[in-house]
Structure formats: C-alpha cells, structure tokens
C-alpha cells in the first residue's frame, strides 16, 4: 500500500482548505523528497486560494512556499545533496536556465518558471517534492520555524531593497509593517540603511521602531509623504509591502529627487491598479520598479543574514488544522509578524 501523508488541499477556488490524507509524492529525476517540519503562511497563498491572479493555480492544490525540513529521498541524477540535509523551498520552484532572463541573472521572470504551492504542490503537507537545483541550503542545526519566513518574506524584501539602488547611509522607507515589512526593516538596518516605517497601525509601528526604524509614521493620522519630505527631505528608496493601492501611490510621493520605489506587495483582484503623477515622475527623474521574489543567489544571501542573527522573523507556530482560521485573520489584517504551520 502506498504511503500517505496529511496535507491541506484546495479543490475549488474560494473554498476552504481541506485537511486530507493524500499519497506521499515520489521524487523524479533532479528532485528531492523533503519531510516538512515548518511552512510559513504567506499572503500570496491567500491570493492563490481566492483566485486573485491569472492564470489560476493548478487544482487540486497544496499551497505553501516557505517550507523547511530535511531531505528523505533523492531522485535520479541528484549528486550535490544527500539524505538528511536541511533545505528550504521558496516560491521559485524552478526556471528553465536557458532563456535570456536566466542568462542575465533574472531567473525570477523566466517565462517557463514554476511556482511552489501554485503550479506545483507546496509545503502545507508532511512531505513535498522540490527541484534540487532550486532549494535553499540551510545549516544543519537550523531552526526551521524561524527560517521558513525568510524563504519568501525574507528573500523578497531583501531583493526589493537592493533594487531601490539605495546605498548604505541613505534613507529607505518600508511601507507596510506586516509579515514582509517587519522583516524588511531588519534587512534594511543590517544593510546599512536609515529606515523610515509607514503603516496605519500603531502596534506595527512600535514593532518597527523596536526593530531599528528611526522614523515611524502613521499614514492614517498624518500625511506620510509630507512628513517624510519635511523631516528628511524624502527617502532615497522605498519598498511597498502593503496591499492597499493608496500605499503604492503615496510611496512615489515619499521619494526625494532621483529616488526609486520598488513594489513588492500584491493587492490582487480589481484593486490591482494605481494612479501616479507622470509629471512628478518625469520632472524629478523618479523610478518605479517591480520586484518578484528572488534569485537563488538572493536566497542564499538572505538566508545568510538570518543565520548570522541579523534578521529574525517574529513568528507564531500553529497546527496545520488552523490554516483556514489564519486566512480569516489575514483577510482582517489582524496578524502581526508571520504565522508558521507545524507539520512535524
């Protein structure tokens, strides 16, 4: 009889996940089989379940792209990993390695790329298969619960900060201090930036200050762009991890001349549009960029920051059976930090 495992499965877009017993997957050539210990819950998982993006995810779907655990099986041809190794699985399941984007170090936008927990089964399960060439190598004694959010929230904000082109000593704004934002503040501080945090919740702003932000502005109570312009002359770079369209619009106004804003958060659905001042962007030579997760090099660097103690996710461990309740909290904006599922 084939071995089974517990998994959270989506059968229909918009439905709740079902906790089921499903067959343990088998690694094919180039794959590894991972016994999952922890898997972070990302807002992208909610977008997948609610059907906010096109194309829709492959159904039935096991979500999850912040999975960490140990290798328990090797597919044919895998020689640089072994059973017992500690690894993590990010959103980028694989890329072709042969297109112009892969050759240019931009594998994050490979058109043939696959996504963990979206086009491929993810980590809301006791076991999962991953492409051996794209897993993160983790330390032998790694705390999988702490490192799980680094595999998406960490690498995504780290790459986004780099793409602002800000230099150490310059100001960056982190707009939205949630699961991604509270990690972004720490990366920004560790990278030598001066950090301004913007959110609409005082509790999140207090956390940002505790994590190293010099300025904290409540955008609900004050005109955040004006505050940053008046106090520091605007920021050199900004990243938006929030999901409210207004945050994306305001972030442009937070920039000083020649500044760059990098969009990371994804509103989804019919909210995925903003209005921006073309004259302001042109006259002040501002740059607006997108940033999509991170390359394998970004992932290795982001993990190194965390394993060296420079970045620590604020987490809460929860059983897999509570995953639907977590999504309800996420929709209501009531999560501070990151939720991590306990699989083993």
What is the pLDDT averaged over residues 248-274?
Answer: 90
d(CA 248, CA 187): 20
- Interatomic CA distance for residues 344 and 329, integer angstroms: 23
Residue 1's pLDDT band (boundaries 50, 70, 90)?
low
Span 64-91, average pLDDT: 98
Query: How is 155-203 classified by DSSP, letter by letter?
Result: HHHHHHHHTTT--TTSEEEEE--STTHHHHHHHHHHTT-EEEEEES-HH
How confident is the model over 312-344, as pLDDT tens digits?
Answer: 999 999 999 999 999 999 988 888 889 999 998
pLDDT of residue 243: 87
Per-residue confidence band for 2, with pLDDT thresholds at 50, 70 and 90:
confident
Position 333 scores a pLDDT of 82
What are the structure tokens assigned to 221, written together?
């109570």
Q: Judging by DSSP bridges, how do beta strands 194-199 and 171-175 pair with one another? A: parallel
- Residue 123: is its pLDDT beyond 70? yes
Q: Tell me what percent of the residues of the chain surpass a pLDDT of 90.
A: 92
pLDDT over threshold 90, residue 273: no
List, for residues 165-207, the tens digit of each pLDDT value. 999 999 999 999 999 999 999 999 999 999 999 999 999 999 9
Average pLDDT of the chain, as a whole number: 96
On the question of pLDDT at 116 being above 80, the answer is: yes
Identify the structural domains of the chain with CATH numbers, from first to last.
Answer: 4-152+294-342 (3.90.180.10), 155-290 (3.40.50.720)
How far, in Å, CA of 247 to CA of 274, rounded? 9
Closest of 226, 266, 221 to residue 244, by C-alpha: 266
Rounded to whole angstroms, what are the CA distances from 226 to 27, 221, 233, 256, 307? 54, 12, 9, 11, 37
In the prediction, which pLDDT does 269 show? 67
Q: How far is CA 262 from CA 36, 161, 177, 245, 316, in A?
A: 32, 8, 15, 14, 28
Output the DSSP codes for 215-252: EEEETTTS-HHHHHHHHHS-EEEEEE----HHHHHHHH
Question: At 88, is the pLDDT very low, low, confident or very high (cuts 50, 70, 90)?
Answer: very high
Residue 30 pLDDT > 80, yes or no?
yes
Alpha helices (H) in the chain, listed in sequence order: 43-50, 100-103, 144-147, 153-162, 181-190, 202-210, 224-232, 245-253, 278-283, 296-307, 323-331
User: Which pLDDT score is estimated for 235?
Assistant: 98
Distance in angstroms (rounded) separating the CA atoms of residues 219 and 12? 37
End-to-end CA separation in angstroms for the chain? 22
Pull the structure tokens for residue 273: 């549009």
**Can you tell me the distance from the alpha carbon of 277 to that of 331, in angstroms, rounded to the nearest whole number?**
30
Average pLDDT over residues 199-228: 96
pLDDT (mean) for 270-299: 93
pLDDT digits over 36-67, tens only?
A: 999 999 999 999 999 999 999 999 999 999 99
CB-CB contact of 222 with 244 (8 Å): no
Give the C-alpha separation, 263 to 289, whole Å. 6
User: Is 193:238 a contact under the CB 8 Å cutoff?
Assistant: no
Q: Distance between CA 252 and CA 198 in Å, rounded?
A: 13
Integer Cα distance of 149 and 159 in angstroms: 14
pLDDT class of 100 with cuts at 50, 70, 90: very high
């Amino acid at each position: 009889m084939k071995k089974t495992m517990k998994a959270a499965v989506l059968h229909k877009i918009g439905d709740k996940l079902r906790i089921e017993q499903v067959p343990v997957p088998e690694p094919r050539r180039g794959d590894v089989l991972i016994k999952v210990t922890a898997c972070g819950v990302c807002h992208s998982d909610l977008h997948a379940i609610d059907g906010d993006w096109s194309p829709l995810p492959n159904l039935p779907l096991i979500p999850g792209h912040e999975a960490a655990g140990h290798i328990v099986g090797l597919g044919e041809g895998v020689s640089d990993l072994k059973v017992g190794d500690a690894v993590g699985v990010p959103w980028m399941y694989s890329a072709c390695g042969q297109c112009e984007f892969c050759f240019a170090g931009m594998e994050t936008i490979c058109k043939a790329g696959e996504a963990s927990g979206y086009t491929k089964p993810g980590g809301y399960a006791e076991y999962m298969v991953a492409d051996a060439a794209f897993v993160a190598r983790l330390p032998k004694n790694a705390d999988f619960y702490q490192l799980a959010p680094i595999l998406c929230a960490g690498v995504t904000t780290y790459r986004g900060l780099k793409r602002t082109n800000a230099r150490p000593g310059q100001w960056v704004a982190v707009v939205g201090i949630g699961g991604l934002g509270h990690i972004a503040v720490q990366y920004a501080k560790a990278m030598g930036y001066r950090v301004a945090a913007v959110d609409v919740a005082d509790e999140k702003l207090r956390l940002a200050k505790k994590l190293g932000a010099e300025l904290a502005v409540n955008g609900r109570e004050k005109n955040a762009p004006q505050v940053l312009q008046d106090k520091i002359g605007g920021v050199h770079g900004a990243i938006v991890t929030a999901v409210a369209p207004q945050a994306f619009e305001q972030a442009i106004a937070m920039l000083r001349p020649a500044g760059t804003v990098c969009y990371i958060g994804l509103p989804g659905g019919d909210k995925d549009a903003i209005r921006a001042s073309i004259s302001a962007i042109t006259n002040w030579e501002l740059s607006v960029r997108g940033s999509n997760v991170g390359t394998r090099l970004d992932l290795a660097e982001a993990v190194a920051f965390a394993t060296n103690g420079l970045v620590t996710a604020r987490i809460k461990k929860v059983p897999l059976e509570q995953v639907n309740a977590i999504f309800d909290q996420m929709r209501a904006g009531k999560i501070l930090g990151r939720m991590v599922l306990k699989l083993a």
